[in-house]
Amino acid sequence: MKGLTVGQCSGIGWAGATTCVSGIVCNKQNDWYSQCIPGTATTTTSTTTSITVPTNTTTAETNQPTSSGTELPVGTLYTGCKVSGTVAITFDDGPYQWTSALIDSLDAAGAKTTFFMCGKLYGCIYDYANVVKKAHASGHQVAAHTWSHSDLTTLSVADVQRQMTKINTAFQKILGIKSKWMRPPYGAANAQVLTTPRKYGLQGCNSVATSQSIFNALGNDPKIVPLEHDALQTTAQTLGPWIANWAKQKGLKTVTLSECMGEPIPSGQYTTVGGATTKDSTWVC
């Protein structure tokens, strides 16, 4: 998996890192979320990171890159976008009722983003299959946020694998692909999670007004990976489209996570495992 420069750092039930990289401050948003956001304090030090590792499949990769680039090596940590002039907006916790209209807004702004989706959080992913297809068809990257948004550090190896297998099975049925990217809920990752053949990242949440002031204070080429939540109405309807237009006004290209990392598209994003299937009795949560 690959890295982020913002993420959750505290809150009720939080099991991940409680510090941020130098120059990024852990700010309380509410009792559930404190987030690493740009600031002047330098008293914190550490891990808003992600890592990439291979997915297991018995089907050969058939996707061919449509742009130049190199897939990120296995097990390497990153802290932000690698490609200058890009910003990778990411959305967690969907799909949900606000996601479809958000995609329309992003498309109107010419923005390509990454959706880290759950199988069963705000409803069942199969009930939002058309939204998943819409995101993918519009050129947004579809990635995994586990099946049921469980804290992976509290699960057995077998249960962690089930969390990832079930969400990728849904992607396989709906889209005919398996995601090469995953973000663990709550940013919670231990040695067991890291050695599982998956990818992980961090998550957090801001109010609309606070987020807008933060983005306005950033430099011309921040190489950031903003993390938002399309399951939140204010984010989906206001903040997400605002960030896309903010990037455009700064002359930044809003791209998928793989593209901002310099990976080939789509082979850096997905393994193709055959075509999408027809909805049947197995499309249930």
Q: Which residues are catalytic?
A: 92, 229
- Cα dihedral 265, 269, 274, 280, rounded to 10, equals -130
The Cα–Cα gap between 8 and 136 comes to 27
Q: What share of the chain is helix, strand, coil (3-state, %, to 5)?
A: 30, 15, 55
76, containing H or E segment:
none
CA–CA separation, 214 vs 95, rounded Å?
26
CA distance 6 to 21: 9
Per DSSP, 200 falls in state: B
Whole-angstrom distance, CA of residue 139 vs CA of residue 114: 9
